[in-house]
Structure 1
Amino acid sequence: MILVGKNNKQNDYLTNKLARNQELWFHVKDLPGSHVVIQSTEPDETSIQEAAMIAAYYSKARLSGSVPVDATLVKNVKKPNGSKPGYVIYDNQTTYFTTPDEDTVLKLREA
């Protein structure tokens, strides 16, 4: 299952409370956007590509092509003390490039 935070409070809850350390976390690179988590410790390539597309779609890069999306394990995502909801820093990421497609994202939402 792929989970998406659609605002800063949902992002905060998803990343810091709901997600487990060995799950993959996604976020569009260097822009505001949704936190996306795959609830699986061994996601397949299709799930990874879908999560990257969802992260790109629910970001400021929605209308762009070839959007860079970072993915890392949840255990590599940290919320600095005193930072506002939804703000995190992370490391050990892999960057995927995807083009957001509204039809695909809406079909995934219905599934």
Structure 2
Amino acid sequence: MKYLHEQIEITQAEVNYFENIQSQIELANPEDLVDIRLELEQEGYLRNHDQHKKAKKNRQKISKPEHYTATDGTEILVGKNNLQNEKLTMHTADKRETWLHTKDIPGSHVIIRSFDPSEETIVEAANLAAYFSKAQNSTKVPVDYTKVKNIRKPNGTKTRLCNLR
């Protein structure tokens, strides 16, 4: 029975992963689609016929996140696919900056480039997180936010997920 429950959890994680990819494709521009394809190749879901040459070339070609400016002038960054999300949250953002993501809904990672953002900026960033998510057309979208230092990528996960601490 334990094995069966483990397999169900693994399968559910795969379903969640592909739902996330699907929502990213729906919001993607052509540059984002290149990143999504690269990720699917890296994860082993798509074959890359010329892996060695393209892998080195494509590793350097991850597109940049979207840049926005809050009403008070604070910079807000939005990752529009898993590669951008991971790079933005795990490598670009300072641990003291604020991270936002829709609660239990596939979507973008949003970073407020401020150690102590105003409530107005948090609301504006939350609106961006809701807009760049699967719940884009919903009227009320729950959004989690915390300091980047509280975000962890689970060890051993094949998919690009992260957890709130």
TM-score bucket of the superposed structures, by smaller chain: 0.7 to 0.9
Matched, 1:16 2:110: no
Equivalent positions of 1:37-76 (< 5 A) are 37-76=111-150
Q: Where does structure 1 lack aligned partners over 5 or more consecutive residues?
A: 92-111
Partner of 2:105: 31
Structure 2: how far apart are the matches of 1:13 and 1:78? 13
RMSD, aligned α-carbons:
1.0
Offset of 1:65 from its aligned partner? 1.0
Compare the two structures and name the one with the higher strand fraction. 1
Structure with bigger gyration radius: 2
Offset of 1:46 from its aligned partner? 1.4
When residues 40 and 85 of structure 1 are mapped into structure 2, their CA distance, relative to the original with a 3 A threshold, is farther
CA deviation string 1:11-60 (max 9, x = no partner): 00000000111111000000110000000001111110010000000001
Matched, 1:87 2:87: no
Compare the two structures and name the one with the higher helix fraction. 2
Equivalent positions of 1:94-105 (< 5 A) are none
Conserved in 2, the CA contact under 8 Å of 1:25 and 1:37?
yes
What's the TM-score, normalizing by structure 2?
0.53
Q: How many residues align?
A: 91
Identity percentage of aligned residues: 55
Runs of at least 4 residues of structure 1 off by over 4 A?
none
What's the TM-score, normalizing by structure 1?
0.78
